[in-house]
Amino acid sequence: MANDNIASGFFRSSVAYGDRLFYSDASRNVSYGEMGVTVRRLAGHVSQKGRPRRVGILATRSFEAYAGILAAGFAGGAYVPINLKWPESRIVTLLGLMELDALIADVNGTSLLTPDVLAAAPDCIVIADAAKRPEVVRNSQSIVHFNEIEAEPLSQPMQVEADDLAYIIFTSGTTGLPKGVMISAGSLANYLAESRSWTALTPDDRLAETCDVTFDLTVHNLFLCVEAGASLHILSSLEMMAPGRFVRAREITVWMSVPTLIAMMRRNGSLKPGIFPSLRLSIFCGEPLPVAAAEAWAAATPNGVVENIYGPTEGTVICMRQRFTSPPVETKGRGILAIGKPYDSMEIAILDSEQQVLPEGQAGEIALSGPQLAIGYLGAPEQTADRFRNLRGKRWYLTGDLGLRDETGTYHHLGRTDNQVKVKGNRIELEEVEAHLRKAADTDVVAVIAWPVVDGSAQGLIGFCCSDKSDSEIEAAMLQSLPRYMVPSEIRIRNSLPVNINGKVDRRALFQQLEEAAQTTATGPARPDAAE
């Protein structure tokens, strides 16, 4: 019978392409053969007490992160990336939810293994060879380096069924804690079958990895890469800031990132025509793709195509795509590329506020149905029931994205129906940040605004509150419980905040104030600290 093990493709390539390069970062090149040996040993180690259910990945952009993901899959378990930017208290809380059987950490991840984190961590922990081993907190816990593993290697991928859990990826929630999106092996298999046809990777492809493994664009890159026997080239977070040299020196053929990267390169003038002759496919995702940005990127990649893709984590990476063409398929009045047409196996509907299907041309909430829908949110049945609905005999996911279908059957993205924003590709629920601001400022009167907005993408967050505390005290308190990218770059303390007709804090009025202040003080580009 069919085996939906997510590491099957990797296993085949580790046999067929043993000598070929699989993984490359600034300090290390690993072949498929070598990675195969590591993955089978690690899979054996985490299976000593039977098939693991879930394996935590306290690692990113590292050999250990990828070895951990593939080994978890090989052993028949689900992998659960843990964000290294989460503060200690959040890691402890979420470890309590995850019910891990094992934890894999790279050097940076191991530095987060404090006594409190270890107390919440599973018994079986494997750390990078170069990491200093922390003290275990109980007798049953064992921490070994990769090179100390003595367990019998697993010889082949465990039998996995379509309904089995493949991974859990966390996204921002509205309650103050992130939501864990649970994706099955069957959903991932469907995703790969759909994506294989248009990416058409071969063993000669060299893929650039720009994302952390906590972001599901890495699911796309990793699993399509390994089944094709291609190589994965990891940019450090620093190289992300000026990626030109990386792409050119490594002759990258496939690029995928958030559009913010294009904006950055355009701003400093480095995105010149023709500079990336090696790129044959460039994929942008996670934020609206401005037509001007797509044009500039296409000019830089004369031998390649540019694709704009759309999809929430809850629909397994992506489910719609639009190729950049000349003339471009544009979303009217917004200067952004359309999100295109759905994958064949996925159904898209535009719904009104009562979840009735809207006709062509009318804007409503984008809803998805089909084999890529998530199982739901980890340990959150109410939030799952709220977003995953049975409507007219089918299961649908309500994305919270506003959109419409035009007369050609092409879909367009028109923003959000709620207060979720993307800041440099990071999905953030403003309510989640506000919940933490309320606590840190010890007040009920708070608001968080995504600002400034450049090319339709938020560049940062500004917090407003009425509080007796100082902005630096509030910021320090928020950093205890939130990753830095979710803490507003500026906290403004006011005697009162504007309210709307319902008595709620009026975010729109605050946004207007920020815009007006920026226009009167600055003639140059708006920066968060240039206003007031």
What does the binding site for other proteins look like in residue numbers (CB under 8 A)? 26, 84-85, 108, 111, 236-242, 244-245, 248-249, 268-270, 272, 275, 484, 489
Q: Please state the closest distance from residue 236 (CB atom) to other proteins, in A.
A: 5
Choice between 269 and 327, CB closer to other proteins: 269
Choice between 237 and 512, CB closer to other proteins: 237
- Strand pairing report for 446-450 and 394-405: unpaired
Closest CA to 247 of 285, 282, 212, 204: 282
Q: Please state the closest distance from residue 481 (CB atom) to other proteins, in A.
A: 16
Q: Please state the closest distance from residue 269 (CB atom) to other proteins, in A.
A: 3
Q: In this structure, which long-range contacts are made by residues 397-401, counting pairs with CB atoms below 8 Å and at least 24 apart in sequence?
A: 397/312, 397/314, 397/315, 397/367, 397/368, 397/369, 397/373, 398/351, 398/355, 398/365, 398/367, 399/312, 399/314, 399/315, 399/365, 399/366, 399/367, 399/368, 400/365, 401/312, 401/365, 401/366
Choice between 263 and 309, CB closer to other proteins: 263
Q: What are phi and psi of 452, to 5 degrees?
A: -75, 165
If you count them, how many residues does the chain have?
Answer: 532
Question: What is the spatial distance between Cα 125 and Cα 121, in angstroms, rounded to a whole number?
Answer: 8
Which residues 6+ apart lie within 8 Å of 501 measured at CB? none
Question: What is the spatial distance between Cα 83 and Cα 94, in angstroms, rounded to a whole number?
Answer: 10
Q: Dihedral, CA atoms, 393, 399, 402, 404, nearest 10 degrees?
A: -40
Question: What is the spatial distance between Cα 71 and Cα 52, in angstroms, rounded to a whole number?
Answer: 10
Q: Please state the closest distance from residue 299 (CB atom) to other proteins, in A.
A: 13
Q: Please state the closest distance from residue 108 (CB atom) to other proteins, in A.
A: 5
Q: Dihedral, CA atoms, 297, 301, 303, 308, nearest 10 degrees?
A: -30
Q: Please state the closest distance from residue 264 (CB atom) to other proteins, in A.
A: 9
Question: What is the spatial distance between Cα 68 and Cα 64, in angstroms, rounded to a whole number?
Answer: 6
Choice between 276 and 324, CB closer to other proteins: 276
Q: Please state the closest distance from residue 272 (CB atom) to other proteins, in A.
A: 6
Choice between 59 and 320, CB closer to other proteins: 59
Q: Please state the closest distance from residue 47 (CB atom) to other proteins, in A.
A: 31
Choice between 264 and 517, CB closer to other proteins: 264
Choice between 58 and 414, CB closer to other proteins: 58
Q: Please state the closest distance from residue 379 (CB atom) to other proteins, in A.
A: 29
Query: Looking at the DSSP assignment, which residues form a beta bridge with residue 350?
Result: 366
Choice between 102 and 247, CB closer to other proteins: 247
Question: What is the spatial distance between Cα 37 and Cα 39, in angstroms, rounded to a whole number?
Answer: 6
Closest CA to 165 of 119, 261, 101, 226: 101
Choice between 97 and 112, CB closer to other proteins: 112
Question: What is the spatial distance between Cα 515 and Cα 453, in angstroms, rounded to a whole number?
Answer: 9
Choice between 275 and 402, CB closer to other proteins: 275
Closest CA to 281 of 307, 262, 258, 310: 307
**Residue 98, H or E segment:** helix 88-98
Q: Please state the closest distance from residue 203 (CB atom) to other proteins, in A.
A: 28
